[in-house]
Structure 1
Amino acid sequence: MEIEVRHARIVEMINATGSLSKAAMKIGIPQPSLSAQLRRIEKAVGGSLFVRSRSGVTPTPLGERVIPMLAALAEQADAVIAEAAVDTSSTLRFGTAEWTPPTLRGALRSMLPNIDMRTETILPADAVDTVQRGALGAAMVSSMDSIVPIELSDRDLAKATIVRDPVWLALPVRHPLADHSVLSASQLEGLWWIGYARQHWFSPVERHLLDGLGQRDRSVSHYAGGYHEAMSWVRHVGAAALTPLTGATSDVRVVPLADTHYTELTLVWHKDAMSSGTARQLVEVIRRYYYQYAWSFPGYRSWLGALTDVPSEVPDPSRLVTADSSPGF
């Protein structure tokens, strides 16, 4: 007997449930039939995949090696089926928070030329709900661990991390601290701050980070409704503001903090809107776009080079950055 995709799905379900009876119930076949199929599968692979006991089943040493391979086979088959089901002339409504740069839309349309890409700027707090309701097929969502997590309660939604986005200090270009390579907490004393309005997703992140930097009693000049408003105030009134790189603009200077924290940029999509293969393509093109944007900031490349845990997905800058490339986010 040759191993087929349906066999991989059976083994994957047994492993996931830890029980032959539960797996049979989920697959929708009688348990004796499932047990018989498992015996044929084990004969085909040359040994037992599970140890049976009263409490359920657990993988054998052979199973520990083979089951992940079978699970990968099932996943690849799902991706092929889903990709084949995507209508190449369909419309994909794609949301980004606060501001959608035309260059990002151009990159997305170049990557998926046969899909009518409709971009839409949305409120960060509404991103997941908008995708869940089907008003958008996919959206970029920002989050930070337990402070502002992404919670997907709908099984029809999926997510994938695009990048970890460092939170730095935004300053006017001519500010005395603007040329520093890195800033310590003590150097933040005495600054005037631009904060973020309570309804903005970044507000609790900002409070958490500044409290940790000893700036609980900071002087706040203005509470902005978004990143670009905050950057405008930084530029015009000489104040400082925390911002992830995706919130910074080219007319301010962003300086790394000694204890850098990260937000995460995540792609959330509805499984009915696009396949996992298309989602992977989206993640890749947005990731490359992000790093091209990040490298347009002075000092980013040297800061990244000093890290001991550079993310594995960081591309080669020589293939991304050109003299006139400074896309916005």
Structure 2
Amino acid sequence: MGLELRQLRVVRAIADEGGLTAAARRLGMAQPSVTQTLARAERAVGGVLFRRGARGAAPTALGEVVVAHARTVLDAVERMTAAAARHREDDWPAAVRIGCAPGLLVAHLSVAVPLVAGSDVQITTATGAAGHVAALAAGRAEAALVTRFLAPGAARPPVAEVHGEGTLRGAVVAVEPLFVGVSDRHRLAARAEADLAELAGERWCLPPGADDGLGARLAEACRRAGHPVAVRVAEYAAALTLAREGRAVLPMMPGSRTGPGLVLLPLRGEPLTMETVLHWRSDGPLSEEWIRSLWEHLVRAQRDIIEAAPAYRAWLADHPHWRTTPPGPAALHRPCG
């Protein structure tokens, strides 16, 4: 007896989510059905695929082999299905156009979109969110992957309210704490984390021209910490040089690879967070099923690639309450609740 696609989807979901309950929620199945499907898959391959414990389900050696092949098979099936749908639908774009703010997930789109859509992808990268959203609303793009920054306690209004577009929809891919890039000679460089107040008097580097709210959120967070913020505008490469030389500090994504001379310093209490959102138009050519599949690929890349960075992995281990990714595509996600 061979493995069925349903069983492969369950095996992949358990591996992605780390447990049967979360896998059931992601697949829209009852947990007993997930348990039964897993049992049938294990009978088909002749061995145990996951070891279950208090911390969830971890793949066995056999499970790792099956999970890897399940991903390959399901990716191929999804690509075939998308390609067939594209040939049936005259309005499907020859290349899916996506506008992106700079971020660690952008590179993955060049792999994920052709895999999901069965077509080429055209990616436009620029700082800020407004231009990408405007292009999406005007039909010059099919999707957008953008970021916005929030301070503790700040409301997260739905995407349509933020951009005033009734047909614009959004699904949160990740909510992450921002770290600070400091010189490895900085007085706080050896600390596991620091209070934002301990960075009083530092000069912060921010990118030029961004409208994503980072400058305003940084100023607000510093005000709450009891000190004003001093900002220097610099392109990213120049900002990295200034930080390595100890002449500035800069907010950085926790999954960043820093290179020599620079240290990622986590901030106690997560005073700054970054939200990554996938946008599309409800009246556009991309179906809900297609969007969900792309969202799942992005979430998987977030977990398997970005969160594998040593500093981020260590921080997540020390903050088990934090849930970077939501259980399913949704316009709002609270990582701690």
Cα deviation, 1:194-238, whole Å, max 9, x if unaligned, reads 24546542211221222222231x444x2235x555334323454
Is 1:135 aligned with 2:140?
yes
Aligned mates of 2:189, 2:137 — CA distance in 1 = 42
Q: 1:130 to 1:148 in 2, by over 3 A?
A: farther
Quick check: 2:113–2:294 contact (8 Å CA) kept in 1? no
Amino acid at match of 1:281: S
Amino acid at match of 1:306: D
Which residue is equivalent to 1:188? Answer: 199
Q: 1:173 to 1:289 in 2, by over 3 A?
A: farther
Q: 1:134 to 1:110 in 2, by over 3 A?
A: closer
Which residue is equivalent to 2:295? Answer: 283
Which residue is equivalent to 2:124? Answer: 120
Cα deviation, 1:142-198, whole Å, max 9, x if unaligned, reads 124558964142232211000002111111244342232111234323434324546
Which residue is equivalent to 1:208? Answer: 220
Q: 1:195 to 1:103 in 2, by over 3 A?
A: closer
Aligned mates of 2:209, 2:109 — CA distance in 1 = 29
Which residue is equivalent to 2:240? Answer: 231
Provide TM-score, normalisation by structure 1: 0.59
Quick check: 2:98–2:124 contact (8 Å CA) kept in 1? yes
Quick check: 2:142–2:285 contact (8 Å CA) kept in 1? yes
Q: 1:188 to 1:281 in 2, by over 3 A?
A: same
Aligned mates of 1:263, 1:312 — CA distance in 2 = 10
Identity of aligned pairs, percent?
20
* Unpaired segments ≥5 residues, structure 1: 1-79, 316-329
The alpha carbon displacement at 1:274 in A equals 0.6
How much is the aligned-residue C-alpha RMSD, in angstroms? 3.4
Provide TM-score, normalisation by structure 2: 0.58
Aligned mates of 1:139, 1:224 — CA distance in 2 = 25
Further displaced range: 261-270 or 186-195: 186-195
Secondary structure, aligned partner of 2:310: coil
Aligned mates of 1:102, 1:167 — CA distance in 2 = 18
Which residue is equivalent to 2:315? Answer: 303
Alignment of 1:69-88 (within 5 A): none
Q: 1:99 to 1:295 in 2, by over 3 A?
A: closer
Aligned mates of 1:259, 1:86 — CA distance in 2 = 50
Residue 253 of structure 1 is aligned with which of 257, 263, 277? 263
Which residue is equivalent to 1:273? Answer: 285
The number of equivalent residue pairs is 231
Q: 1:301 to 1:213 in 2, by over 3 A?
A: same
Aligned mates of 1:313, 1:101 — CA distance in 2 = 13
Is 1:95 aligned with 2:106?
no
Q: 1:135 to 1:282 in 2, by over 3 A?
A: same
